Amino acid sequence: MNLRHKVLVIGAGIGGLSAAIRLATKGFDVHVIEKTDGPGGKLREQVLGAYRFDLGPSLFTMPELVAELFELCQYPMSDNFQFEKLNDICHYFYEDGTRFVSKGNVEEMIQTCSTTFQVSPAVLRRYFNATSRIYDITAHLFLYKSLHRISSYLNFKTLLSVFRLPFIQAHETMAHMGKRLFKDPRLVQYFNRYATYNGSNPYVAPATLHLIAHLEHSGGAYYPKGGMYSITKAMFQLAQAKGVTFSFGTSATKIKVDKDVVVGVDTSTGFIPCSIVVSNLDIHPTYTRLLPNTIAPSHILSQEKSSSALIFYWGIRQSYPSLGLHNIFFAKDYKKEFDAIWRDKTLWDDPTVYINITSKYTVEDAPKGGENWFVMINVPSNEGQDWDNLRVRARASILSKLERILGQSIEPFIEEEDYLDPIRIEQRTGSYRGSLYGNASNTPLAAFFRQSNASSSIKGLYFAGGSVHPGGGVPLANLSGKIVSDCIFKDYGKR
């Protein structure tokens, strides 16, 4: 086998790192270029004074995907990466005073919801059975395989999934399924929230996305020791251990193609010859900036973009015992909040607020008696809005809401502060318009219209990351690297 093909990975995000590690274990010569000064993409960290913050994703699920990388590399995980399962996943606060804590076990979750919302355990069990069925039908095909290769469909398990697709609830929306099953609007709101995990709108997104609830409550949620950035550090360490080389502060300027075959990449530091390119950059700038002479797939680039985020990083010299690692303060009117984001392209005055506080588990992330707050609301992608004005308004709304519900002052104790908005997100990560997940999943067939992991027109060109199949978020970005490495091995490993 000739496995020493030169692979150039553009971008050291989770998808790029995953692809690089897997290809290196298969014997490929892998080099990664990254425009910033370190790995991680959206999953990086920042220190403000005495406070440390994870900048991007904050929920860790499907840890087996990271564990698999250690197994592939034959590297001891326990010495280099540790995590624990959360019994209490998230603290929820409603405007009517309702509070409850979601659980990392389906039966415990059923009992908690039954008590809090006065709903029959049988009804809840029916819901979780439905989400489990959706996952069983879709996961093998939609998460672990390329949707764009005939070989993916040529086995019994995949063909069975195809024939069972009518049972994945794609014919109704997430909100409709919730209302059909549950009478309490608070419970409907809770399960609608899972649409935001991939930047979608539960009032139009297919009910298929309820499978995310299955992943969280059946598969569990976890906390990586040292915070989410430890995932990046562990993957970077594995890549280096397998011989992957890195060039930080190096930007790709053009993917060079000769007769529809990749021959190399022009970068800010010079030309790098290679026969295989994996773009971990957002699919939109990959085509518009790096492939200017290639006809871009307009049916993909023109699709509705996922939501973005407005995040405040607050170092607070005060502690709040009623809060946990993950916390959600719901909007009073969820429908109006999503209408504002998706229809009006602006912010609702009473947004749903998410707070992540890693110092609850890693005490070194904040000084004694203080807490590091990652405070996020969902916002539309950037379409020219006045983000300076929106940020000031949102900050005031968030503080007012939190102080009212918690009955404690917050603003006087903020001693460190920074923020990310859609403009900064695009500038720092390359995500088009600040969209966190590429295209939205607001249609039943959205999964089939994401960019494939391998180019159908350019030999040697592949795509990984949250803007391509199978989607955004740490687990799916990791899986995109797995799918890419499988495709490349099939295309080149037999030579």
Interval 219-241 mean pLDDT: 97
Dump the DSSP string for 200-232.
--TTTSBGGGGHHHHHHHTS--EEETT-THHHH
Q: What is the pLDDT of residues 11-22, one digit of tens each?
A: 999 999 999 999
Give the phi and the psi of residue 126 in degrees, each rounded to 5. Answer: -65, -40
Please answer whether residues 279 and 374 qualify as being in contact, where contact means their C-beta atoms are separated by less than 8 angstroms.
Answer: no
Long-range contacts of the stretch 62-69 (C-beta < 8 A, 24+) = 62/215, 62/219, 62/475, 62/478, 63/222, 63/224, 65/475, 65/478, 65/479, 65/482, 66/231, 66/234, 66/235, 66/478, 69/18, 69/21, 69/22, 69/235, 69/238
pLDDT of 2 above 50: no
pLDDT of residue 165: 67
Radius of gyration of the chain from Cα atoms?
Answer: 22
Q: What is the DSSP letter of 34?
A: E
Q: What is the pLDDT of residues 292-350, one digit of tens each?
A: 999 989 989 999 999 999 999 999 999 999 999 999 999 999 999 999 999 999 999 99
pLDDT of residue 143: 78
Distance linking the first and last C-alpha atoms of the chain: 6
Would you say the C-alpha torsion 127, 128, 130, 131 has a positive or negative sign?
A: positive
Residue entry with tokens 């913050």? 53
Dump the DSSP string for 257-286.
EETTEEEEEEETTEEEE-SEEEE-S-HHHI
Beta-bridge partner residues of 254 = 266
Please answer whether residues 328 and 354 qualify as being in contact, where contact means their C-beta atoms are separated by less than 8 angstroms.
Answer: yes
1-5, 145-149, 185-189, range with greatest mean pLDDT:
185-189
CA dist 155 and 437 (Å) reads 30
Q: What is the pTM of this model?
A: 0.94
